[in-house]
Amino acid sequence: MPENSNHNQPNKRKRSCLIAISVILFLIFLLFIIALILALTVFKPKQPKTEILSAFVDGVAPRITFPAVWVELNITLNITINVENQNHASFRHGEGKTLLLYQGTQVGNANLYPGNIPARGNATLPCRLTLQVDKLANDMSKLISDVVGGEIMVETKTRIPGRVTFLGFIKKHAVAISECQLTIGFPDMKVKRQDCKSKAKL
Ligand SMILES: *[C@@H]1O[C@H](CO)[C@@H](O)[C@H](O)[C@H]1NC(C)=O
Ligand SMILES: *[C@@H]1O[C@H](CO)[C@@H](O)[C@H](O)[C@H]1NC(C)=O
Ligand SMILES: *[C@@H]1O[C@H](CO)[C@@H](O)[C@H](O)[C@H]1NC(C)=O
């Protein structure tokens, strides 16, 4: 019957059109899921770990002067920082910075060389930090009691910003951050204790 076939034709077309749209939507959804899984796994940057490999003290043991009570202090810390890139992709980092703190006051800083750390590789960065005693004018009493006590505790804060590059074009920002506490003893001028925490902001 011609009437029936006339009615069926648009319905069939509508149905195959719906199927095509569903297939396309499903494929888009599938691509989205695959991209999401890749973003959350393979292309998710892991935090570069930083730690202090070694710390040496250059300088002479501090002395307290009289009658004008002042601490003569000339200490430089030689620090070697290890940056471990845990990614299966290279980590290119800019110039990092290390701050030296005493009782929460910044008493020195140093820049770290920029560089490129290959996938799953390490880089060691040298760093020389001089403790500037003049920055401590307000905190002399604590420093004097530390010098008398035979050790001072300083803190370092290292920040190394960079980029992890996946497949040569997917770039993700990553910042390696570490904080260390170092205890320097007198008069032997040795680092007696060191305690580091590594963290990263992605
Ligand atoms: C600090 O000590 C170094 C040697 O360790 C010396 O070369 C430098 O002149 C001293 N600086 C001051 C300000 O005393
Ligand atoms: C500290 O580093 C400087 C150069 O980076 C080096 O000449 C000096 O010998 C080092 N001192 C110590 C105690 O490692
Ligand atoms: C990188 O440094 C970490 C921590 O010091 C060490 O465990 C690892 O073996 C090093 N990896 C390479 C490739 O040297």
pLDDT tens, residue by residue, 61-116: 888 888 877 888 888 999 999 999 988 889 999 999 999 999 888 999 999 999 99
CA–centroid distance, residue 73 to ligand 1 (Å): 9
DSSP H helices in the chain: 2-40, 140-149
Three-state SS at 187? coil
Residue 136 is classified by DSSP as G
pLDDT score for 110: 93
Residue 132 burial (10 A CB sphere; 0-12, 13-18, 19+): middle
* Cross-sheet strand order for the sheet of 70-84: 49-65, 70-84, 122-130
CA–centroid distance, residue 19 to ligand 2 (Å): 73
| pLDDT tens-place string over residues 170-191 | 788 888 898 999 999 988 888 8
78 and 152, same domain (yes or no): yes
100 and 174, same domain (yes or no): yes
CA–centroid distance, residue 165 to ligand 3 (Å): 20
2 and 87, same domain (yes or no): no
Tell me which of 2 and 193 has the higher pLDDT.
193
User: What residues does 125 pair with on adjacent strands?
Assistant: 81
Q: What is the CATH number of the domain that holds 129?
A: 2.60.40.10
Tell me which of 155 and 72 has the higher pLDDT.
155
User: By residue range, what is the domain housing residue 34?
Assistant: 1-41
Nearest alpha carbon, ligand 1 atom 10: 74
21 and 2, same domain (yes or no): yes
pLDDT score for 11: 81
Query: pTM, whole model, 2 decimals?
Result: 0.74
Ligand 2 atom nearest the C-alpha of 126 is 5
Q: At residue 202, does pLDDT exceed 60? A: no
The structural domain count of the chain equals 2
62 and 111, same domain (yes or no): yes
98 and 35, same domain (yes or no): no
| pLDDT tens-place string over residues 21-70 | 999 999 999 998 888 888 777 777 888 888 888 888 888 888 888 887 78
pLDDT score for 70: 80
64 and 137, same domain (yes or no): yes
Ligand nearest the Cα of residue 130 is: 1
**CA–CA separation, 145 and 29 (whole Å):** 67
Pocket test for ligand 3, best of 122, 124, 178 (most atoms within 8 A of CB): 122
CA–centroid distance, residue 98 to ligand 3 (Å): 21
pLDDT score for 7: 59
